[in-house]
């Protein structure tokens, strides 16, 4: 058994069952091992941003790390932007990055690069295997690092000779350590804070999903506190019958208004709210200066246990939860496309158990309220602000949750970063309906240009913010990747297209022109 | 004048006249400054790999650095793979990377990342501006670093507040230091080596262009030495009337045969030949063990001066050069598509002064001999092995050399990494004819799988090496980006399509199916 085979057996024994791959020469022994050994689903992406973003989406839906297979420094580099999003989402991923044979590195061949240096900014754990006999143990250590709560990016660099030389026996990664329990003092301090007026629970990490959200709802019912959540979370469970948190808005002025009345914020897997960007003359922190923060649980702590203890402390363990959304989808709108109308169509048609992957950027800022009363669904956000997340994450989410409808909401500018995802969706026949918001500009930047005090864009600046001359034509782009597509330019057409996409088994792309 | 304006004025004063950009919020003041100040051509790319690859292609044709404009850590990360190629080509690029306002960084907003850490593996020079008053001087230092011979990657990180606060006056970068002259000892040693039998000059850097190649030809005529060059060079001048070097082949066995008779290699801006990858049981170094290397000039030395001195030493300064290619384009072939036939069509139709950007990967290994006797042209290679180079480099080359025909030879797998380039070509109406070798696989990897001793690929491995199910449909892919396209599946059709592409002013894509 060579090193590559020992690694594949180790990954499979450690329940890493999917490999998103874009291999090259230095990874051929790993590919050959995938061939020989049963138990790993291999999914090819035609660009590494697809590969890493898919691994992120897969983890968000399964709670299990996938492996990626990347070709030396440049292959890893192409995957970094979506690793950044995954890292900020606290997703677990095991990257396998090929490297030259150890003895070849000193010759500085064209692909030689500082792979550890490239990996480090986006990885919690980085290691280069030193010999084929180490590879199995290194692989198990990578899985253990990835699975450390709440989830980490582990990058194992595999020199070609450690893949092809004789390896050791496969190793099974140890089960992750349980999340550390929160101290009683923290629970009592949180309870005291919530007994004050103008208090909120601020949820993050797995705190935005059940059972944490139901506990938060019980506590809110008992204390009258509000429930807010970070602007972006890896995976929010929401919709009818679920406790709904109010996400901190992206726009600073709106966030300041939303949070302005608060005097107590209890952090549950969340960080204190900060602006996505800094703007001249505006604060970085979004809560009022007189607000007191109390940490109940960090993102890696036992969030559910802490909320149970807090509910007990407040006598709320069986209190019926507040902030539960009733089933009340919006009425179906018609006519001209507006952002509110798009949100209403989504809210009216979201199927039960849908997975919404949201990279709608500027178009989607109003989607939350009109979809909150749709049947229960999951909502996956861009957590690191690195665009090109949506299509790959939808790819991975669909792979990780077969039988569920995935709806990917994409800005046209964002979609272009990782459009190659469409081909993987077509190849794997993934049940993803994509909505491309074809406003033919980096619409968000028109607002940001003014928000940073740069005035009104002139000709050259406007050129940098718009996607016209030529406009992108999404129907042929989709078909070129093997994906069926349709266009909508009214809300009626959008509803018809969305129904059609949801009725399709396999990928379907809707170009929504407005 | 704010910091951003002081930087733009500094860049323009320092003859950095093009900015390839994919900006975001943190770069809006730089964009606004580009608006206000005349003298910088702004070119939008819809993905950062397009931006950095275009800057590389632009430098290769102009010898002048362009600037890039990238959005924080993830934007830079997306550009790294083509910066890797540019670094290995010794191209000069000035990256401007936005960053959060200095006071905002500690809040760990979603886009916060270790930007210097991301930059370092692919940059020779990295600096973060500390205040708006420093930005102009930092910008000039970045240009100076980029222009240091033979060319460097300089990355200047610009926190948003250093862009919007009041800056200093613009600064003009100092002219680059002249390349260091080579010592007389090195010249005499090289002359002694070339007087031995079985000797070769091995050319790299600007050594593969005139006036260096003509000097090499004179020396070869006088001594009988061979002229070889690195497997990949940034820009080779070749074709009829020029001295032709034999490139070291990619395939190890072929390289060993090509170099096997050599006993003396004089390095002129080149490194000793090494395998692109290591393979079990094959050597990393490609020259025979009994071969002696003599360094005439490093890649950053005064290569032309060294060759002049060497020619003087050998009495070859006016010797008519050897290895000059006669004008003898191949006869136009017809019928079924073969790799040799493709090469012959290219050789027959290459127009004078064409720029060939070559990312043909496996399909193009035989192109050199059948194009060597076409009219004089430039040939740009993938220098770092990071695929996704061709289309962006063609974009930048066309921008840097208006009036010349650019032909981009692209593998279908490679093209998919940075396909967004097509949109920039359409927007800027760049005169690029692209040939996509649609063999519907990572053809090179089929060979590599066997070459590393992994045997014959099975079902899962084959799936990782092929681009079928579905096949990519290049005509709609091109049209979706606003680029005209046609298909060829015989050599006659290929010739007709190539003629049509070359007659088109603006981008044209040919899908060559075989």
Cβ A474–B480 below 8 Å, yes or no? yes
Question: Cβ contacts (< 8 Å) between A461 and chain B: which residues?
Answer: 31-32, 34-35
Question: pLDDT-derived band of residue A362, with 50, 70 and 90 as boundaries?
Answer: confident
Tens of pLDDT, residues A256-279: 999 999 999 999 999 999 999 999
By CA distance, what is B42's nearest residue in A? A460
At B51, is the pLDDT very low, low, confident or very high (cuts 50, 70, 90)?
very high
pLDDT of residue A446: 87
Q: Encode pLDDT of A112-126 as tens digits.
A: 999 999 999 999 999
Question: Which residues in chain A are contacts of B255 at CB distance < 8 A?
Answer: none
Nearest-Å Rg of the Cα atoms of chain B is 23
Between CA A179 and CA A190 the distance in angstroms is: 19
pLDDT tens per residue, range B390-441: 999 999 999 999 999 999 999 999 999 999 999 999 999 999 999 999 988 8
* pLDDT of B215 higher than 90: yes
For A489, the token pair is: 């330019």
Q: For position B39, what pLDDT does the model report? A: 97
Q: Which residues of A touch B478 (CB under 8 A)?
A: 480
Cis peptide before A466 (omega within 30 of 0): no
In chain A, ranges of CATH 3.40.50.970 domains: 3-164, 339-513
pLDDT at A81: 98
Q: Report, as an integer, the average pLDDT of B238-263.
A: 97
Which carries the bigger pLDDT value, residue B455 or residue A227?
A: A227
Mean pLDDT (whole number) for B128-138 = 98
Query: In this model, does residue A442 exceed pLDDT 90?
Result: no
- Residue in chain A nearest B84 by alpha carbon: A74
d(CA B198, CA B194): 8
- The minimum CA-CA distance between B477 and chain A, rounded to whole Å, is 5
What element of type H or E holds A119?
helix A115-119
Residues A234-260: what's their mean pLDDT? Answer: 97
Per-residue pLDDT, B364: 86
Structure token digits, residue B298: 């490093």
Spatial separation of the C-alpha atoms in residues B375 and B377, rounded to whole Å: 6
CB–CB of A107 and B275 under 8 A?
Answer: yes
Q: How many CB atoms are located within 10 Å of the residue A351 CB?
A: 12
Q: What is the pLDDT of residues A95-107, one digit of tens each?
A: 999 999 999 999 9
**Contact flag A449-B28 (C-beta cutoff 8 Å):** yes
Interface contact flag, B120 A117, Cβ < 8 Å: yes
Chain A residues whose beta carbon lies within 8 Å of the beta carbon of residue B472: 423, 480-482
Closest-CA residue to B20 (of A228, A463, A432): A463
Confidence grade of residue A363 (pLDDT, cut at 50, 70, 90): confident
Return the pLDDT at A182. 98
The CB-side HSE value for B21 (13 A sphere, CA atoms) comes to: 27
- Topology of domain A3-164, per CATH? Rossmann fold (3.40.50)
Chain A residue closest to B69 (CA)? A464
pLDDT reading at B300 higher than 90: yes
Please list every residue in chain A whose beta carbon sits closer than 8 Å to the beta carbon of residue B441.
none
* pLDDT given at position B365: 82
| Contact call for A113 and B84, based on CB within 8 A | yes
B469–A427 CB contact, under 8 Å: yes
**Predicted confidence (pLDDT) per residue in B428-469, tens digit:** 999 999 999 998 888 889 888 988 888 889 999 999 999 989
B44 contacts A160? CB cut-off 8 A: no
For B29, which residue in chain A has the nearest alpha carbon?
A454
Distance CA A414, CA B147 (A): 34
A454, A465 contact by CB (below 8 A):
no
The string of DSSP codes covering A129-141 is --SGGGHHHHHHH
Contacts of B63 (CB under 8 A, 6+ apart): none
Q: Say whether A28 and B388 touch across the interface (CB within 8 A).
A: no
The answer to whether the CB atoms of A25 and B277 lie below 8 A apart is yes
Does position B210 have pLDDT exceeding 90, yes or no? yes
Q: A–B: how many Cβ contacts below 8 A? A: 320
What pLDDT, on the 0 to 100 scale, is given for residue A347?
Answer: 97
Interatomic CA distance for residues B405 and B415, integer angstroms: 19
| Distance from the Cα of residue B394 to its chain's centroid | 9
In the block, residue with structure tokens 């390349």: B179
Max Cα distance, chain A (Å): 68
Is the confidence at residue B363, as pLDDT, over 90? Answer: no
A361: closest CA of chain B, how far (Å) = 12
pLDDT at A22 over 90: yes
Residue in this structure with the two tokens 């229960």, named with its chain if needed:
A376
Phi/psi of residue B253, nearest 5 degrees: -60, -40
- Residue A350: which residues within 8 A CB-CB, separation 6 or more? A239, A329, A356, A371, A374, A375, A377, A407
Share of chain A above pLDDT 70, in %: 100
The reported pLDDT for the residue numbered A501 is 98
d(CA A119, CA A132): 21
A57-97 tens-digit pLDDT:
999 999 999 999 999 999 999 999 999 999 999 999 999 99
User: Mean pLDDT score of chain A, rounded to an integer?
Assistant: 97
Q: Name the pLDDT band for A364 (thresholds 50, 70, 90).
A: confident
**Within 10 A of B289 (CB to CB), how many other CB atoms are there?**
6
Count the neighbouring beta carbons within 10 Å of the beta carbon of residue B57. 38
Under 8 Å between Cβ of A482 and A426: yes
**C-beta atoms of A448 and B103 within 8 A:** no
Shortest distance, CA A106 to any CA of chain B (angstroms): 10
Which range, of A59-68, B336-345, B358-367, B411-420, averages the lowest pLDDT? B358-367
Pairwise CB contact (< 8 Å): B35 & A278: no
For position B436, what pLDDT does the model report?
A: 98
Q: Is B175 exposed, middle or buried (0-12, 13-18, 19+ CB in 10 A)?
A: exposed
**Helix locations, B91-231, DSSP H:** 115-119, 135-147, 160-164, 184-194, 212-223
Whether residues B470 and A426 touch (CB distance < 8 A) is answered with: yes
Q: Do A278 and B103 touch (CB under 8 A)?
A: yes
B81, B385, B464 ranked by CB distance to A31: nearest: B464
Do the chains contact at A121 and B118, CB–CB below 8 Å? yes
Residue B361 banded pLDDT, cuts 50, 70, 90: confident
Residue A190, pLDDT > 90, answer yes
The helix/strand/coil state of A237 is strand
Q: Is residue A424 within 8 Å of A83, Cβ to Cβ?
A: no
For the domain covering A184-313, report its CATH number. 3.40.50.1220
Instruction: Look at residue B376 and tell me whether its pLDDT is greater than 90.
Output: yes
Q: Encoding tokens for residue B428? A: 């800027």
Record: contact B477-A482, CB cut-off 8 A: no
Q: Is residue A294 predicted with pLDDT exceeding 90?
A: yes
Span A435-456, mean pLDDT? Answer: 90
Within a 13 Å sphere around the CA of A383, how many CA atoms are in the beta-carbon half? Answer: 27
Chain A residues inside the 8 Å CB shell of B38 = none
Reported as a pLDDT band with limits 50, 70 and 90, residue B499 is: very high
| pLDDT exceeds cutoff 90 at B359 | yes
Q: Which CATH architecture has domain A339-513?
A: 3-Layer(aba) Sandwich (3.40)
Nearest CA of chain A to the CA of B448: how many Å? 6
Query: Least CA distance to B78: which residue of chain A?
Result: A78
Instruction: Give B312's contacts (C-beta < 8 A, 6+ positions apart).
Output: none
Q: Any idea of the CA torsion for B497, B499, B502, B508, to the nearest 10 degrees?
A: -10
In a mutagenesis test of the A interface, which of B384, B460, B468, B476 is the best target, namely the one with the most A β-carbons within 10 Å? B460
Pair type for strands A18-22 and A66-70: parallel
Interface probe, candidates B4, B5, B28, chain A, greatest A C-beta count within 10 A: B28
Q: In the prediction, which pLDDT does B219 show?
A: 98
Contact between B84 and A73 using a beta-carbon 8 Å cutoff: yes
- What ipTM score was computed for the predicted complex, to two decimals? 0.98
Residues for chain A: how many in total? Answer: 514
Q: What is the pLDDT of residue B317?
A: 97
State how far the Cα of B66 lies from the Cα of B86, in Å rounded to an integer. Answer: 12
Looking at chain B, the domain(s) classified CATH 3.40.50.1220 span 184-313
Q: Select the residue of B47, B458, B460 nearest A416 (Cβ to Cβ).
A: B47
């Amino acid at each position: 058994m060579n090193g590559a085979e020992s690694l594949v057996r180790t990954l499979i024994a450690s329940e890493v069952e999917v490999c998103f791959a874009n291999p090259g020469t230095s990874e051929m022994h790993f590919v050959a091992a995938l061939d020989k050994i049963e138990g790993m689903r291999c999914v090819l992406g035609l660009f590494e941003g697809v590969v890493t973003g898919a691994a992120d989406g897969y983890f968000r839906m399964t709670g299990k790390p996938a492996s990626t297979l990347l070709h030396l420094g440049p292959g890893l580099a192409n995957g970094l932007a979506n690793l950044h999003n995954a890292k900020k989402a606290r997703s677990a991923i095991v990257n396998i990055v090929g490297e030259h044979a150890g003895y070849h590195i000193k010759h500085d061949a064209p692909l030689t690069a500082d792979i550890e240096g490239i990996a480090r900014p986006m990885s919690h754990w980085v290691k280069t295997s030193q010999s084929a006999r180490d590879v199995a143990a290194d692989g198990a250590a990578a899985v253990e690092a990835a699975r450390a709560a709440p989830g980490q990016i582990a990058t194992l660099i595999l020199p070609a000779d450690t893949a092809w030389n004789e390896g050791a026996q496969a190793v099974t990664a140890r089960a992750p350590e349980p999340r550390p329990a929160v101290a009683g003092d923290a629970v009592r301090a949180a309870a005291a804070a919530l007994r004050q007026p103008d208090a909120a629970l601020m949820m993050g990490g797995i705190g935005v999903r059940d059972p944490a959200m139901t506990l938060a709802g019980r506590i809110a019912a008992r204390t009258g506190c509000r429930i807010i959540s970070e602007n972006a979370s890896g995976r929010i469970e929401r919709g009818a019958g679920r406790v709904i948190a109010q996400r901190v808005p992206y726009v600073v002025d709106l966030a300041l208004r939303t949070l302005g009345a608060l005097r107590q914020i209890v952090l549950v897997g969340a960080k204190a709210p900060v602006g996505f960007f800094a703007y001249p003359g505006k604060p970085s922190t979004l809560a009022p200066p007189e607000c007191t923060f109390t940490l109940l649980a960090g993102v890696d702590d036992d969030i559910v246990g802490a909320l149970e203890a807090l509910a007990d402390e407040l006598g709320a363990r069986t209190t019926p939860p507040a902030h539960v959304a009733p089933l009340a989808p919006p009425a179906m709108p018609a006519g001209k496309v507006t952002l509110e109308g798009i949100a209403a169509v989504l809210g009216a048609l979201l199927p039960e158990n849908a997975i919404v992957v949201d990279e709608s950027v500027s178009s989607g800022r109003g989607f939350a309220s009109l979809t909150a009363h749709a049947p229960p669904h999951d909502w996956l956000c861009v957590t690191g602000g690195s665009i090109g997340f949506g299509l790959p994450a939808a790819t991975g989410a669909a792979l990780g949750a077969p039988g569920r409808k995935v709806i990917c909401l994409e800005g046209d500018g964002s979609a272009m970063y990782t459009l190659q995802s469409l081909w993987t969706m077509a190849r794997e026949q993934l049940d993803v309906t994509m909505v491309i918001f074809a406003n033919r500009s980096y619409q968000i930047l028109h607002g940001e240009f003014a928000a940073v005090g740069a005035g009104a864009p002139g000709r050259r600046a406007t050129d940098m913010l718009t996607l016209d001359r030529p406009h992108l034509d999404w129907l042929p782009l989709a078909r070129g990747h093997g994906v069926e597509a349709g266009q909508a330019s009214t809300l009626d057409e959008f509803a018809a297209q969305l129904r059609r996409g949801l009725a399709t088994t396999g990928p379907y792309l809707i170009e929504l022109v407005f």
